[in-house]
Amino acid sequence: MSDAGPGRPLAHWQHRLAERGIDRQLWLLVPALVFVIALFLYPFFYGLTLSFQPTKGGPLSDYARFFSDSYERGTIWITLRIALPAALLNVLAAVPIAYRMRGRFRGKRLVTTLLVVPITLGTVLTAQGLLNFLGPTGWFNRTLLATNLVDEPVRLTHNYWGVFFSLVITGFPFAFLLVLSYLSGIDPTLERAAATLGADWRRRFTRVTLPLLMPGLATTFCLTFVLAFSVFPSAVLVGNPAGETRVISLAAYQAAYEQYDYPYASAIAMIMGFVELVIIAVVLAARSRFYTGSTGGKG
């Protein structure tokens, strides 16, 4: 604007605002902004301030209360002990299977469609099915007994394993579909190029495909972990909610809806969010060390 010489009319103020990207079209953002402020940011900060205003004691006493009580503090460990292995298993199992299925083959759509079913059904229904299927008189134990693999039914429900299986059943297809779409986003001619340069399949995978896939795997792990970390219905239904599967979301729920102690419940929710974001931040930091640009495929 400084180069508008003497006697030159300055640009109209509308132009000068538009120059900075501000014009009438930005009104389109307003409803969504109002929404996100009113229903997400405000409640979040309300919860945050509430957590510093406990019903008794100083501002930090609810946090102190959580961390000083080993029964409460232990919920963090319990949640991580379920969520981390489940998310890791889901992602690691998804890689070879997706690698094998990334090409076109008959029935691919059927397989992916079947995999969406457990995600769509959700944890509540999966829990109900697992109670029937894995229970002491369910088909799974019956098969084990009939084939003489075990002498008495294996206890797989109302404990750690029930919750773990429910997370695998809903989480694995989720991880698989994500990994599959990341894989098909890598241009297959890259591997062929590596082959013409003399790389065998092992080195093609470890030197070309895997490095390009790593950022996708990190993202997949994060999303799978978020799902597993917020495990709630299955922890109650197929787990042992008073003992080994008393996850942190359950502790928060009980504080809010059984003790009606909202400040304490908010404090637990904040701790929960913090722990989760720390894990995600670590994974994303590791992710940023890989190449994250275009992978040349159709993805």
Partner 1 sequence: MSAFSQLRLDGVSRRFGGQAALTELDLTIEAGEFIALLGPSGCGKSTALNCLAGLLPLTAGSIWQDERRIDTLPPERRGFGMVFQSYALFPHLTVRANIAFGLRMRRLPKEETRRRTEEAVRLVRLEDHVDKLPGQLSGGQQQRVAIARAVVFEPSLVLMDEPLSNLDAKLRLEMRTEIRRLHQSLGLTTVYVTHDQEEALSLADRLVVLREGRVQQIGSPRELHTRPANWHVADFMGYRNLWRGRVGQVDGDRATVEPSGHRLLGEVVGSLRPGVDAVVAVRPEDIRVDGPAETRNAMSATVEVVEYQGRELAAEARTDTGLLVHLRTEHRIAPGDEIKLAIDPQRLLVYPADASAQTDRLADAAGATR
Partner 2 sequence: MATTTQAPPARPPATTTDRRRRIAARPAAWIVWGVVIFFFVNLLGVVASVLVSSFGKRWFDTWLPDGYTTSWYARAWDEFALLQVITVTLEVSVLVVGLSLLIGVPAAYALARRSFPGKRLIFLVFLLPILMPPITYGIPLATVLYKFGLAGHMSGVVLANLVPSVPFVILTMTPFIEQIDPRIESAARMCGAGLRTVFLRILTPLLVPGILAAAILVLVRTVGMFELTFLTAGPDSQTLVVALYYSMSASGIRAQQSVDAMAVIYTSMMLVLLVVALRYVNPTQLVARVKDEPEH
Q: How far is CA 235 from CA 45, 91, 105, 242, in A?
A: 28, 21, 38, 10
* Distance of closest approach, residue 250 Cβ to partner 1, in angstroms: 51
Write the DSSP symbol of residue 186.
Answer: B
Answer whether 185's CB lies under 8 Å from 297's CB: yes
Q: Does 104 bind partner 1 (CB under 8 A)?
A: no
Question: Looking at 10-18, 93-101, 226-234, 244-252, which segment touches partner 1 (CB under 8 A)?
Answer: 10-18
Give burial (CB, 10 Å; 0-12/13-18/19+) of 226.
Answer: middle
Spatial separation of the C-alpha atoms in residues 86 and 228, rounded to whole Å: 7
Query: For partner 1, which is the closer residue by CB, 8 or 109?
Result: 8
Q: Does 26 bind partner 1 (CB under 8 A)?
A: no
* Distance of closest approach, residue 24 Cβ to partner 1, in angstroms: 9
Tell me which of partner 1, partner 2, none is bound by residue 201, counting a contact when its beta carbon lies within the kind-specific cut-off of 5 to 8 angstroms.
Answer: partner 2
Question: Looking at 8-16, 68-76, 156-164, 168-176, which segment touches partner 2 (CB under 8 A)?
Answer: 168-176
CB-facing half-sphere around the CA of 186: CA atoms within 13 A: 26
* Distance of closest approach, residue 33 Cβ to partner 1, in angstroms: 24
Q: Does 7 bind partner 2 (CB under 8 A)?
A: no
Tell me which of partner 2, partner 1, none is bound by residue 44, counting a contact when its beta carbon lies within the kind-specific cut-off of 5 to 8 angstroms.
Answer: partner 2
Rounded to the nearest 10 degrees, the angle between the axes of helix 248-257 and helix 70-101 is: 130
In the region spanning residues 60 to 89, those forming contacts with partner 2, defined by CB under 8 A, are none
Query: For partner 1, which is the closer residue by CB, 6 or 198?
Result: 6
- Using alpha carbons, select from 148, 156, 172 the residue that is nearest to residue 240: 156
Tell me which of partner 1, partner 2, none is bound by residue 66, counting a contact when its beta carbon lies within the kind-specific cut-off of 5 to 8 angstroms.
Answer: none
Answer whether 86's CB lies under 8 Å from 167's CB: yes
Q: Does 1 bind partner 1 (CB under 8 A)?
A: yes
Q: Does 116 bind partner 2 (CB under 8 A)?
A: yes
Write the DSSP symbol of residue 296.
Answer: B
Footprint of partner 1 on this chain (CB under 8 A)?
Answer: 1, 3-5, 8-12, 14-16, 18-19
